[in-house]
Copies of this chain bind each other. A is one copy, B any other.
Amino acid sequence: MQMVTDSDRAAYAAARMAEFAARCHRGGLAVTPQRLAIIRALLAAADHPRAETIYAQVRREHPHISLATVHRTLETLCRIGEARKVTALHDSARYDGNTAPHHHVVCLGCRRIRDIEIPGVERLLDGRDDLGEFKLMGCALEIHALCAQCQRKPGRSNPKRLANRKQSIATSNHVDS
């Protein structure tokens, strides 16, 4: 499912929220106001927020919530399959409320992440027996790219001198998503 418009996302979020309590229950988890607020914030996000970002958002309604709770809860959501953790470029952990199978485009400059559907990725692994001792559990294709904005900046793409690096980091503004 490609979520592009706000109304797409709103509909998806509503459906997921409706089932959330039941899913917690199934997973043996208590349904707490904090958990509800956190998954709601995650599903409302158009990007791939970090724990800190969710924290800032949730704090508006729950001023006493702890950052630790946000971290714990996001991990818990991943564990019961209600969220995905996006690993990219050794950035801080990003979370994705979209649990449908999809992959990610990551900007090497600003580290923005965008969902993308790529049919056929999983099929590449069918029938391979050279995973040896490994039991296949899933896969994640990470597409490295430069967004329009970062294509214009001097950056890592020009590895001539170390000096460039400080430059590119200083001038790039890393964001969630």
Would B79 and A159 count as touching, CB distance under 8 A? yes
Binds B, one of A5-13, A37-45, A53-61, A81-89: A81-89
Contact mask A77-121 → B, CB, 8 Å, 1/0?
Answer: 001110001011110010000000000010110000010101011
With a CB–CB cut-off of 8 A, which chain B residues contact A107? 134
Would B139 and A146 count as touching, CB distance under 8 A? no
Contact mask A145-167 → B, CB, 8 Å, 1/0?
Answer: 11110010000110111100100
In the complex, the chain B residue whose C-beta lies closest to that of A161 is B28
Would A141 and B141 count as touching, CB distance under 8 A? yes
In the complex, the chain B residue whose C-beta lies closest to that of A132 is B114
Q: Is A129 an interface residue (CB 8 A)?
A: no
Contact of A140 among B144, B151, B160 (CB under 8 A): B144
**Smallest Cβ distance from A20 to chain B, in angstroms?**
16
Complex Cα distance, B139 from A159, in Å, reads 19
**Smallest Cβ distance from A87 to chain B, in angstroms?**
5
Q: A87-B89, A124-B141, A137-B157 are in contact. List 11 more A-B contacts (CB 8 A).
A: A27-B160, A79-B156, A114-B132, A116-B130, A118-B128, A121-B124, A131-B143, A136-B143, A137-B145, A137-B146, A139-B142
Q: Can you name 23 A-B pairs with beta carbons within 8 Å?
A: A27-B159, A79-B165, A80-B159, A85-B90, A87-B87, A87-B88, A87-B89, A105-B134, A108-B137, A118-B125, A118-B128, A124-B124, A131-B145, A133-B147, A133-B148, A134-B145, A134-B146, A137-B146, A138-B143, A138-B144, A139-B144, A140-B144, A141-B142
